[in-house]
Structure 1
Amino acid sequence: MAEPEFEQARKELVSTLEASSLFEKNPEYKRALTVASIPERVIQFRVTWENDKNEVQVNNGYRVQFNSALGPYKGGLRFHPTVNLSILKFLGFEQIFKNALTGLNMGGGKGGADFDPKGKSDNEIRKFCVAFMKELSKHIGADTDVPAGDIGVSPREIGWMFGTYRAARNRWEGVLTGKGGSWGGSLIRPEATGYGLVYYVDHMIQYASGGKESFKGKRVAISGSGNVAQYAALKVIELGGTVVSLSDSKGALIDTEGKGFSPEVINEIAQLKVERKALTALENHSFKYVEGARPWKEVGKVDVALPSATQNEVSEEEAKALIDAGAKFIAEGSNMGCTQEAIEVFEAHRKEKKGEAIWYAPGKAANAGGVAVSGLEMAQNSARLKWSSEEVDEKLKDIMKNCFENCLSTAKEYLTPADGEFPSLVGGANVAGFKKVAAAMKDQGDWW
């Protein structure tokens, strides 16, 4: 069976590993790559549930337990009609190295079902969650596999699944992250991916400018309007930047007056998402809604671009448009947000233009803040503690700083000297994440 998304993710990793000196210095790591490319376990199961008309419905449920060398499998659950093994393997594969870059003890996994929550009643979604978790509960646990939410799985669904797990296993343990604040959830978890993305890019800006610049005064294009995009936008505004776009699956909402999105407008968008309404509701003299478009060709002059919607949302043509629009920094809030062709455009520009070039950060590094705070939630659950939002935010800032510095120093060590002071962050992220996982796998006898 063809697995295009997984093959794309693997090719992206392999191409940067081969471009580095890693295999030259450590040829045995080629064997590690072959082993690490196959999941430790793939669980596929039937989910039968009853709709409001008392009719039996059936869906496919999955959990890809990809790699546990660094800790329990960790990665989200996605409920969406497009879910299949290729997408879950791609997401699980990326998750291995993303989790490694956080510095926390987490392996990589991903799961979900081809269930579509849209058009379903609350009662039907609850029934599906219960049926799904009755089977999944046999395969997960606080020290085995700790899922989280993803597309179609909000804190509400996490609650229903946690209650089902607790009843089925007669255990209260940190088996899911993204829980409610009064029953084991961590503060800052909803904000973490968006905040972490902005913290990472802030380090990029400061490094590139020799500490002279920050987000202040920067025009920032963001795609998406879900959790990641909303909190990234709020943090950009807090740091003095101007958010010039957001988007949804039907089109892009573009700032037309140069004032940018205000926190009040972003809160309105959050409410629209809860009500499952389109962003067209906000079109007025300050914003135009461009049907069927993504923001990248619509925003005009821009300094920073943060794709935060879904995979492959920046094409080769759009990458060139962003360069023409003056973008200097692009970082993925979504997983594999840029196509391979777009990445090649950014990387070629970086090599050619040196200090004047666009600088690209991959999702496995730039959006690692979400899973990092999930890891902090696991730690709080294990110790039966609750940290303040300030404590969690400080830990998140440290993790993103260390992640950036790790990607940068690894790139300088393993990528060609011709890359100079601005080496490939995508290459650095891939080598750093892979090397850490491969070394742990060797120590534990997964390859020799």
Structure 2
Amino acid sequence: MKTNLAFDSKMESDYRIDKFESDLNYIRIMLALCVLLYSSFALIDIQLKIPEANLFLFIRFILVNPFFVVGIILSYHKSFYKFHQIILVIDYLAAGFGIIAMLLLVPNNFSYYGGLFLIFGVGHFLTRIYWQYASVASYSMVLGYLILAFFFSDNYKLNLIYVFFYSSFIFICVYGSYTFEKYRRDKYLQTHNLRDDNVILEKEIYDKLIEIENANRITIFSLARLSESRDHFTGDHIERVGALCLKVSQDLPTSIFEVNEIDRDLFIESIELASTLHDIGKVAIPEHILMKPGRLSDDEMAVMKMHTTYGYDTLVKIKTLYEKNNFINMGIHICKYHHEKFDGSGYPDGLKGNEIPLAARIVAVVDVYDALVSERPYKKAFSKEKSLSIIREGSGTMFDPEIVKVFLKLFDEDQ
């Protein structure tokens, strides 16, 4: 398994984008809450009847809150990602220096000293400012407070004590925000590595599935070949049937698959191999019937017709072991029904029209055509023209006319 111990430049960029996207709505909510909280503390000013209350209202609503509101508005602009940290830091500094101004103007009101602690906490933990930026901004505020206090306050010793408390609290905030950031990075790194491992695992599984599928193909093709091993006249019959069935299915209108409630892609993927199974039941047919040079008697024909049932029964037993094998499931239909006729005069069940599975209707056309153009014990090979003429004449009686139309078009294109 792949293990990444550190962020490279690309991962750093991806992480920051991912972090921003996951935090964006949260940032908007927090900016809105900052507006609400910063405004609500004006009630304390009014309740305490501070003489500077109007000035403080001006600081809260005219100087500070607009920064938050502008931040919310800008968050909906596509370029917000590039500048959002700068915007958040500016909002943070505005809020902090607003409180500093108020506590210097009214140094005896403890609520403003506590308010600065709240600002530091919100800046480090809630507004999603990078811990480095929050740290620099926080200590800048403490330094600003110390400098301003030198000009606006006479109690230097008390101011230094406050600075000590603020600096200590900021140190705690820095450690806390750094720890939270490290946790997020570690979690992202684990997720990233897990994603990479999953990709590797998925590829390994995919390769194994391909191996299994290829093994299935070889097994099925070998089974189909076995059925023809006793017939020296068929030659490459199953390969030709498979190739033609594939071409026909690829050219069939999508509406045919929809009417038959069939997944077109899965059907096309399966039919070339499944069609090779159409005559595997002939393994059970006695050789004197299978290789008879002349016309079969009625009794012999009855035995020959049983190859559809023999093949069907064999594949049904195999299906119990491989229920979800698409090749086997399609092969079952083809084995049993490829000698059914469109008008219902075929065998073994006398099905007609769309009662006959689509795959079997396709194989019916292709199998007959290949038998016509091939030499068999009971006949010489027919010409392609004569064979196509027979197929054309069988449209609507022996064969599905829509399939015949597509089949004949294949040979028109070869002209």
TM-score category of the 2 structures, normalised to the smaller one: under 0.3
**TM-score between the two structures when normalised by the length of structure 1:** 0.22
Higher relative contact order (CA 8 A, sep 6+): 1
* Structure (1/2) with the larger strand percentage: 1
Radius of gyration: which is bigger? 2
